[in-house]
Amino acid sequence: MIVLAQAGFCISYLIFIANTLAHLFNKSYDDVTSAGKILGFLTPKALYIWGCFPFQLGLNSIPSLTHLAPLSIFADVVDLGAMGVVMVEDVMIFLKKMPDLKAFGDFSVFAYGIGVAVYAFEGVGMIMPLESETRNKGRFGKILALCMVFISLLYGAFGALGYFAFGEDTKDIITTNLGPGVVSTLVQLGLCINLFFTFPLMMNPVYEVFERRFCDYRYCMWLRWLIVLAVSLVALLVPNFADFLSLVGSSVCCVLGFVLPALFHWLVFKEELGWSGIAWDACIVVFGVIIGITGTYSSLMEIFASKA
């Protein structure tokens, strides 16, 4: 599950980078007629994914999370700056346009949205690797809790402001709603830079699992390169960014975030839990299963519809 989740996150990174760059620099390309292909056969999305490929091979060859820390800090600073600019732009656009808003959609929309929301906590698979690398492990839990609260508030505000600004016209990649301009272009490039340098960090748990299983816990560069190639190939085949986010969030992340934690909690503490504790665990498992099934179905329908 961890492998599927982390690889799915990184696939979405490549899709976001490629689609954003294509939106910025290849507006003449037409998906329907395939007019505007580069060199006659390459779509802009494919060009940018393969353009990232050799650089990702180099970044993913770095063996330790400690060595990736400067890149991670730089990516986070760029990300926070870009999100701040987008949120300010959203508020200004909302005050000017005041679009019609719907408070609630139907259940399929709710399940689809839950899948995307669960996906937002994509760093959960990095908790154990990061804890193993920290110097003061006693403070790690408190820092983690503060980070989770901050991220929840930030992502909630980011999503809400985006919908307030554009209503039903909100696109899957919110920065494409901002229109042309220097600020918009810099924000989009900043987000691409963030995801580009976050990619090797998020792939680290995948490498740990594969190297533990196939290489007897030893660092293996060629295995990492094969995994990066596989992730890039899958990214080429996925047509839509938001649908893939919801698919990963609904299928894998719901299991990791709701079903397995509650199930493990019951298995470990079943002798100590009262009926209320058992009921809570059961409710969380049922909620995760229902959201997982309905969200996965909705996401697959959206993906197949966009291909058709």
pLDDT class of 108 with cuts at 50, 70, 90: low
Residue 282's pLDDT is 92
Residue 31's pLDDT is 52
Q: What is the CATH number of the domain that holds 281?
A: 1.20.1740.10
User: What string of H, E and C letters represents the secondary structure of the chain?
Assistant: CHHHHHHHHHHHHHHHHHHHHHHHHCCCCCCCCCCCCECCCECHHHHHHHHHHHHHHHHCCCCCHHHHHHHHHHHHHHHHHHHHHHHHHHHHHHHHHCCCCCCCCCHHHHHHHHHHHHHCCHHHHHHHHHHHHCCCHHHHHHHHHHHHHHHHHHHHHHHHHHHHHHHHHCCCCHHHHCCCCHHHHHHHHHHHHHHHHHHHHHCHHHHHHHHHHHCCCCCCHHHHHHHHHHHHHHHHHCCCHHHHHHHHHHHHHHHHHHHHHHHHHHHHHCCCCCHHHHHHHHHHHHHHHHHHHHHHHHHHHHHHHHHC
Tell me which of 70-79, 212-221, 224-233 is least confident: 70-79
Q: Are 248 and 119 in contact (CB under 8 A)?
A: yes
Residue 148's pLDDT is 83
Proportion of the chain above pLDDT 70, given as a percent:
88
Which residues, 6+ apart, have CB-to-CB distance to 228 below 8 Å?
Answer: 53, 56, 57, 60, 203
pLDDT class of 32 with cuts at 50, 70, 90: very low
User: What is the domain count for the chain?
Assistant: 1
Residue 147's pLDDT is 85
Q: What's the pLDDT tens digit per position in 44-72? A: 888 899 999 999 999 999 887 777 778 77
Q: Region 236-260: what's the mean pLDDT?
A: 78
Q: Has residue 39 got a pLDDT over 80? A: no
- Stronger pLDDT, 278 or 106, i.e. the higher one: 278
Q: Has residue 95 got a pLDDT over 60? A: yes
Instruction: Tell me the pLDDT of the chain averaged across its residues.
Output: 81
- Stronger pLDDT, 211 or 31, i.e. the higher one: 211
Domain carrying residue 112? 2-307
Residue 56's pLDDT is 93
Distance from C-alpha of 287 to C-alpha of 293, rounded to nearest angstrom: 10
Q: What's the pLDDT tens digit per position in 262-297? A: 898 899 888 888 888 889 999 999 988 888 888 788
Q: Has residue 173 got a pLDDT over 90? A: no
Proportion of the chain above pLDDT 90, given as a percent:
13
